Structure 1
Amino acid sequence: MRWLTAIWRAGIALCIAALVGYGVYDLHAREDSPIPREWNALKRLYISDPVTPLTGYKLSAATRDPQICQAVLQDGGVQFRPMPDLEASPQCHIRGRVSLTGVGAAWIAPVETRCAIALRMAMWEQHALQSAATTHLGTDLTRIEHFSSYNCRAIRTGAGISNRMSTHATADAIDISGFQFADGRRITLKDNWSGPADAANFLKDARDSACRWFETTLGPDYNALHADHFHLQSRGWGTCR
């Protein structure tokens, strides 16, 4: 009869676990849930929410769904305009296409890109760039300069043109070249990466923080082809150089 007792106890344990699991789910799912939004795995991302261990999961979920992504941008006050998808060829396209002109307090020259890139830019500005500007420069960031996002081309390497397409071909990347600030200063990677300490420290902090918000970050420390910009991707394997 011991096996019957063991089965009975296991059944009771499973029932208790199921009840606890349902209770936890219900606590998260309720509209009036007492769990803070940033700690609730069933609530979508909000740009202004404090960063928690769930933020990366929520960001990934939002970037996979253009409708959710655009809703997050809208609620976050991002300056953007939804656009129809661009399908130039099987290798070159922009899906989840937006025209981005500003994130937070920083303006951006209009750039057509994927919503995923726009959202990662917004998170970077909100949770890293502004604080880096205050820490290293004692001022606010007002503009982010870029070269482009979408470009139907192959990867460029130190040995020449690759036979693989660049992530720019699908607007899964953006090249950031510099920054402007409320006190009138302009800092570029070309002129300031190895320049005065305050500017150089800001740029290195910007690079390090980009590694947290983008899946691939390449800059001057990677190779000469990136001496004047940060190459930031919304997909990759966590490369940070």
Structure 2
Amino acid sequence: MRHAKRQQMAQQAAQRQVKKKQRSWALISGLAAFFFAGALAFGGYQVLVHPETPLPRAWNPTVPLRISDPVTPLTGWKLNRAAADQAQCLAALDGFASLQPLAPLEESDQCFIRDRVDLRGVGDARVVPIETRCAIALRLAMWETHSVQPAAAEFLQTSVSAIDHIGSYNCRTIRTGNGSSTRMSTHATADAIDIAGFQLADGRRVRLLTDWEPPGRKGDFLRAVRDGACDWFSLTLSPDYNRLHAGHFHLQSRGWGLCR
């Protein structure tokens, strides 16, 4: 009996030793995996930030937005980051827009333009001078480069020389089909711009009020640039939305993603 008990105790002791070694090896393996993953992450970061990285800048999350870069799944994220910071916004627009930074406008607690700019052109298109937010100017520049000019070439075989607007900043409430509401419009903070049409390089004009209907090449162009605006603005409203927008696109830099 005593011999069997001693044998059982020896086996239990051996099992405890095995488990102790297993825990030690598990701890060592875990630490090794942690440091290996850290080394990989550090190495990956170094690849991203290295001046001679093989990763194209449009695919590199550490490189700021450049308007002329090809569109990738990172472009929208980069755009939102730049639009949220005035310094990044102005840097992104350098060389891609004609504008002048202005001091903030504070008309009231509800009506103001914080990152105010005097905008006169984006890309290859003129803009009648307008005071708006840098974020709107940046989104317009992305729209002009990646949506408006390609659509003009495809549907109208020319380019756009000017973008016609009917305003950005306006200290007012939202207009609805039932009249004014009590909520302030995004125009009250220059977070929106209304686009009425386009001037083409060959002298023609395209107006939403007259060219949205009936169907035709100009209407196809307008629908293409409306759809393109949905990629660059947080909210896009067109004549398809309601009669209040029969003559313009309402383009917003903040909103809930409505595209109509």
Q: TM-score, normalised on structure 1? A: 0.97
Q: Secondary structure at the match of 2:94?
A: helix
CA distance in 1, matches of 2:124, 2:63: 25
| Equivalent of residue 164 in structure 1, options 183, 203, 207 | 183
Given candidates 213, 231, 241, the residue that maps to 1:222 is: 241
Q: Which residue does 2:6 correspond to in 1?
A: none
Instruction: Give the Cα separation in 2 of the matches to 1:70 and 1:168.
Output: 21
- The aligned runs of 1:22-37 (5 Å cut-off) are 22-37=42-57
Deviates more, 1:130-139 or 1:27-36: 27-36
Question: How do 1:137-216 and structure 2 match up within 5 A?
Answer: 137-216=156-235
Q: CA offsets, 1:178-205, max 9 Å, x none?
A: 0010111101110010134100000000
Secondary structure at 1:236 match in 2: coil
> Corresponding residue for 1:126?
145
Matched, 1:238 2:246: no
Give the corresponding residue for 1:57: 77
- Unmatched segments (≥5 aa) in structure 2: 1-19
Q: Which runs of 5+ in 1 are unaligned?
A: none
Which structure's CA Rg is the greater one?
A: 2
C-alpha distance in 2 between matches for 1:142 and 1:119: 18
Q: Deviation string for 1:189-236 (max 9, x for gaps)? A: 100101341000000001000000100000111111111000000001
- Classify the secondary structure of the residue corresponding to 1:163: strand
SS of the residue corresponding to residue 174 of structure 1 reads: strand
Letter paired with 1:122: A
Q: Is the 8 A contact 1:41 1:54 kept in 2?
A: yes
State the aligned residue count.
Answer: 240
- TM superposition shift of 1:4: 2.3
Instruction: Please state if 1:70 is matched with 2:93.
Output: no
For 1:51 and 1:139, locate their aligned partners in 2 and report how far apart those are by CA, in whole Å: 22
**Post-superposition offset of 1:35:** 1.8
Q: What is the identity, as a one-letter code, of the residue corresponding to 1:94? A: I
Partner of residue 14, structure 1: 34
Q: Aligned to 2:199, what secondary structure does the other structure show?
A: strand
1:110-139 CA-to-partner distances (Å, cap 9, x unmatched) read 110000000000000001110100110011
Distance in 2 separating the partners of 1:159 and 1:31: 58
% of aligned pairs identical?
Answer: 54
Q: Show CA shifts across 1:54-92 (max 9, x none).
A: 11111011001101101111133x111111110111110
Matches within 5 A, 1:36-51: 36-51=56-71
* TM-score of the aligned structures, taking structure 2 as reference length: 0.90
